[in-house]
Amino acid sequence: MRELLGRISALDPEAGEAVRVIAYFDSLAGAGVEPLVRGAAVLTGVPAGFVDRSRGVALRVTPEGSVDRAAADPDPSWSSVPVRAVGGVLWLERTGEPGPVGAMVLERASAALRAHLELTGPVQGSREALREVLVDPHVAESVRVRAARRLGIGVHTPVRAVATPEGAARVVAAADAPVPGPERAGVGPAVEVPGLPESWAQARRALRFTAEGRGTDPGPRVAYAEELGGLLVLADAVIRGSEPVPDVVALDRVGRESPVLLEALDAVAAAPSLRAAATALGTHHSTLQEGVGRAERVLGWPVRDVSGRLRLQVALALRRLHRNA
């Protein structure tokens, strides 16, 4: 190996350094977190650190071997990489690009840290941090299962991921109410623990179909991904900055002229008949009929036949997606 390394270095010094880094971290297979972080510092000549708050690990090592076991988070300007599947960050205290050797050190050290931490050590941290582990698609299944056990969730227990406007992940038993009270929420499909990242992705899409439920933002406050079905593909099509279609513009015009009419249109779209919509709104059938007629003149299309009602339902869904982009 030494002879081969010498030949490679003579032909291409950078390639030789890369092989040296690979060989170094291969020799540390099975070592703990500290030797791996120390190796990164020694090979690059600058302090290196690793933080994984979910496990309570915070370590900084200098090239001379000084160790700080209460390291702060890295400066954003330093060269760093996420340690996928365990939720940590490895860094070199060097600003700008890490250079070929630094990049190779970060890559090999992070891979070694990931391999070590996936197999050893309990998943630690607050309940919120553990829930984030459950829905993170980059986390290894073994880590997700350990986090679930710390939260008292059996690996085969049917659960759902729940997304709220605050952004933090929630995980609830499939049979439970998703959120207390009137809070807005998107609810993912029922899955076992290994399927939670997909349930979370669907919950986040479903959240965008929710509304405040009154005034200029009528609609459901809780949306289930399973009930939305094919409408979920619209969430990927409507992104921040995309132009609303004319039907959405027309709905906004109705909302500006009369939020009451917009609420009436939402009730018509959700109810099986005009009479059922009037009951849901607590108004007389003839009063609603008159209001819908006014709204149709502003919209430019009828909403009381099958095709017009479908067009209204899609337009309302698109409007919520734009408002929740």
What was the pLDDT predicted at 179?
67
Cα separation, 312 vs 316, whole angstroms: 6
Residue 222 lies in a domain: no
Same-domain check for residues 8 and 50: yes
For residue 85, the model assigns a pLDDT of 57
243 and 282 in a single domain? The answer is yes
User: What pLDDT shows up at residue 5?
Assistant: 38
**DSSP secondary structure letters along 90-139:** EEEEEES--HHHHHHHHHHHHHHHHHHHHHSS---S-HHHHHHHHH-TTS
Can you give the pLDDT at residue 83? 85
Within-domain flag for 168: yes
Same domain, residue pair 180 and 262: no
Asked if residues 186 and 163 have their Cβ atoms less than 8 Å apart, the reply is yes
Q: Pick from 93, 119, 145: which residue ends a domain?
A: 119
User: Do 16 and 92 share a structural domain?
Assistant: yes
268 and 295 fall within a common domain: yes
Residues 184 and 262 in one domain: no
Per the structure, the complete domain to which residue 60 belongs is given by: 2-119
Tell me, yes or no, whether 244 and 299 share the same domain: yes
Amino acid (1-letter code) at residue 73:
D
Would 81 be classed as within a structural domain? yes
Write down which residue in 196, 212, 228 finishes a domain.
Answer: 212
Coil, strand or helix: which one is 302?
A: coil
Q: How many domains does the chain have?
A: 3
CATH number of 275's domain:
1.10.10
| Structural domain contains residue 232 | no
Exposure of 3 by Cβ count < 10 A (0-12 exposed, 13-18 middle, 19+ buried)?
exposed
pTM of the model: 0.65
Give the alpha-carbon dihedral of 171, 163, 181, 160, to 10 degrees: -30
At residue 213, the pLDDT reads 87
Residue 221 lies in a domain: no
Q: Are residues 109 and 143 in the same domain?
A: no
Residue-level pLDDT at 180: 60
**Shared domain check, 114 and 25:** yes
Q: Chunked in runs of 10, what are the mean pLDDT values of the chain (325 residues)?
A: 40 58 77 87 92 81 89 89 79 88 89 76 70 81 84 92 90 79 88 95 96 90 93 91 93 92 92 90 89 91 93 96 92
Position 226 in a domain: no
> CA-CA distances (angstroms) from residue 176 to 155, 163, 187?
17, 15, 11
Alpha-carbon distance of 20 to 101, in angstroms, equals 10
Q: Are residues 92 and 60 in the same domain?
A: yes
Is 34 among the domain residues? Answer: yes
What pLDDT score was predicted for residue 127?
Answer: 83
113 and 132 part of one domain: no
Task: Assess whether 313 and 273 both reside in one domain.
Answer: yes
Q: Which of 75, 101, 119 is the last residue of a domain?
A: 119
What burial letters (b/e) apply to 251-263, b meaning 16+ CB within 10 Å? bbebbeeeeebbb
Would 227 be classed as within a structural domain? Answer: no
